[in-house]
Amino acid sequence: MHTTAQTFKKAFTASIVSATLLCSGFVNAHQDAHHQSQLEQAIAGDHRSATNKARDEYRHPKETLEFFGFNPSMTIVEITPGGGWYTEILAPAVKGKGKLYGAQYPDTGEDNYYSNSRKQLVEKLAGNAVFSEVELTNFVPRQASELAPAGTADMVLTFRNLHNWRDEGVEQAFKDAYKALKKGGVLGVVEHRLPEGVDPKSAVGYVSQSKTIEQAKAAGFTLAASSEINANAKDMAVYPKGVWTLPPVLRLGDEDKAKYMAIGESDRMTLKFVK
């Protein structure tokens, strides 16, 4: 009887454990599906223009954010959102659950690129309720900046900005990101990639991947993974007007437009670093 009771107890316990694991797996799968659908809904939202959506083909926002480990409950910082292309996706994707900081150039009251960029972003955010929870902070290239309260961010992202900041600016921005992130937080970088062996002077706007990795490591980060999500093997990087020869800028206008449209947008490194 004792042996039979023990056997029954073990079997009953095993069934409870199995049921718990099954339920846990179902809940996790449901949560993952919800996270995915929330991101997909943000990408498909009517607040995004047809022009911006057309660039998904080259920017791969869903795949890129999932590679970085995005989920809607995160506190995220986007450094210099520019015209807000990624902000249009990130803001609704975290609204009500997470937090989005836009670390943008401050408005000094002057009529220059930095102040005007801030004014334009403020106007954009005020124009649609989907952006109502976005909080702007100040980012000044080559100066220490508080992107978000120290140690509060789960993820800091920067898309095609390193070439504007130059070495000193990149190094400072990575230090700022490290300070803003929690331990285990992610720094996600997407940037025009300089082909190995190509002189940077002949490939304006492109950045060395190996050098970027060195700069991030110097700021304290570990390279967790790299991805070819945003790669473009057609991009040779040497053009009359640098990377801006390619779409969407097409700085040469109609000159050889079909040629550059066939190449598409630039070849880009996609790097995931961890604090």
β-pair type (135-138, 153-159): unpaired
Q: Which of 33-37, 80-84, 87-91 has the lowest mean pLDDT?
A: 33-37
Percent with pLDDT over 90 in the chain: 85
Q: Which two tokens stand for residue 171?
A: 């190094």
Task: With a cut of 80, say whether residue 24 has pLDDT above it.
Answer: no
pLDDT at 115: 93
Q: Is 80 exposed, middle or buried (0-12, 13-18, 19+ CB in 10 A)?
A: buried
Quote the CA–CA distance of 68 and 176 in Å, as a whole number: 19
Percent with pLDDT over 70 in the chain: 87
The answer as to CATH 3.30.70.660 being correct for domain 49-274 is no
pLDDT at 68: 98
Task: With a cut of 80, say whether residue 38 has pLDDT above it.
Answer: yes
Look up residue 195 and give its DSSP letter. P
Q: Where are the domains of the chain?
A: 1-44, 49-274
Q: Is 198 exposed, middle or buried (0-12, 13-18, 19+ CB in 10 A)?
A: middle
pLDDT in tens, 192-214: 999 999 999 999 999 999 999 99
Quote the CA–CA distance of 131 and 147 in Å, as a whole number: 18
DSSP H/E element including 225: strand 222-227
